[in-house]
Amino acid sequence: MADSVGRVQPLSGLKVLDFSTLLPGPLATLILAEAGAEVLKIERPGAGDDMRGFPPFVGKESALFALLNRGKKSLALDLKDPQAWATLEPMVRDADILVEQFRPGVMDRLGLGYERLKAINPRLVYCSITGYGQDGPKANVVGHDLTYLAEAGVLSQARLGSVPPVLAADIAGGAYPAVMNILMALRRRDVTGEGAYLDIAMAEQSLTFAVGGLAELFATGAAPGPAEWLLTGGSPRYQVYPTSDGQWLAAAPLEQKFWQRFCELIELPSDLHDDRRDAQATRSAVARMIAAKPAAHWRKLFVGEDVSCAVVATLEEAVADPQIVARNVLAHRLTVAGKEMPAFPVPVAPEFRRAPEIARAPKLGEKA
C-alpha cells in the first residue's frame, strides 16, 4: 500500500494492538506507525492512557500525548470486563504485532497472555516492555527511567547532583530495542511463518550505555569512578567548559589532530598540550582560557576548523538550526486542540516515513 505521494512503506498493511501507556511503548508504536503500520491503542474507558493527563496542555489536550500518539486509532475498553474478549478476539486473530507494558503476569490475568493469543494467532509478534523483565527477583519492582539508570550503574559514571536531561532508559532502553526486536521477529516470521514473544527489560538494556565503564571493569576488574572515564569527564579533550558570559562550550577534540588544532586556536601553553602528563593541569588551564571569552568568540573562532566543538544550544536554537531546517527534520506537523506545531521526530528514514502531513492524536475511543 502506498502513502499519499505514492511511496510504499515497509510496514504498510501490518496491524498493531497497543496496550502500552506513557512513553516507551507508545514511542515504539509511533515509530511503527510512521513506517506504515496501522496502530490501535487499547485504552481505559474514562481516563485513557495516563499520558493524556500530563502537561503541557493545549486547551484540554496533552501535547505530550499528541506528540507520541499521532496517526493512531483508539479503542476505549475495560479489559477486566468479561465481555472485553468478545471485542478483542477478532482483532487478535487479525493482528501482526501486540505491544504491552504492564507488570509481569497482568496480561495473563486479563486472559491476554502470549500463550493464549499464540494459540489463535501463531503469527503474532508479542512484545512486552517492563523495567526488569518477566522473571528474576526484581520482576515486579516498580521503577522509572531514573531508577533503571541508577541500577544499571549508568549514573555512577557521572558526577551526581542533577537529574539527567534525557529519558535514556525509556527511549533507548525501551522503545528502540522493542522496535528493533519486533522488526527482527517479523523478518524471521517471513521465513518460518511463526510469531515470537519478546521480553524487553529497560534496566538491563540500559547497561549498554555504560560501554566504557564496562570495558574497564571487565578488563581490569575495577570500574572507573564518577567522571573518570575518557567520555564521562576524565579527559580535558571531552568536557563542557563555561564561557565568560554564562554559556557553555562542549569541547570534544578527542583525536590528536583535532586536539592539536584546538590547543593552537585557544593558545594553550605548549607544555600543556600533552595531556597524558597531567590531565588535571591541562583541563584547568583549558577551563581558564575558555572562561576568559564569551561564547560568541569561541563560536566564531572554531568556524571551519576541525576541532569538534560546539556552543551548547537551547532547545529553541536547536529546532531552528540551519541543519535541522535543511534536512526537514520537523517537516511533519501536528494539531493539538486547533494549534499547529511540529510533530515529534522519529528515527525512521525519510523514504520509509509517511509523507509530511498535518496529523493529530486520536480522541479517546476514536477508531475511525
Q: Is 165 exposed, middle or buried (0-12, 13-18, 19+ CB in 10 A)?
A: exposed
Cα–Cα–Cα angle for 186, 189, 191, rounded to 5 degrees: 125
Active site (annotated) includes residue 297:
no
Distance CA 66, CA 30 (A): 11
Catalytic residue among 144, 273, 278, 297: 144
Residue 338 grid cell: 486547533
Amino acid sitting at position 112 = L
Cβ-based burial of 345 (10 A; exposed 0-12, middle 13-18, buried ≥19): middle
CA 312, CA 252: separation in Å to the nearest integer?
12
d(CA 171, CA 178): 10
- Measured between alpha carbons, how far is 3 from 48 in angstroms, rounded to an integer? 29
Q: Given the residues 49, 145, 170, 275, select the one marked as catalytic.
A: 170
Gap between the Cα atoms of 42 and 259, Å rounded: 53
Contact criterion met (CB below 8 Å) for 216 and 224: yes
Range 245-250 contact pairs with CB under 8 angstroms and sequence separation of 24 or more: 245/294, 245/295, 245/296, 247/294, 247/295, 247/311, 247/312, 248/295, 248/311, 248/312, 249/290, 249/295, 249/298, 249/309, 249/310, 249/311, 249/312, 250/309, 250/310, 250/311, 250/312
**Planar angle of CA 73, 75, 80, nearest 5 degrees:** 150
Residues designated as active site: 144, 170
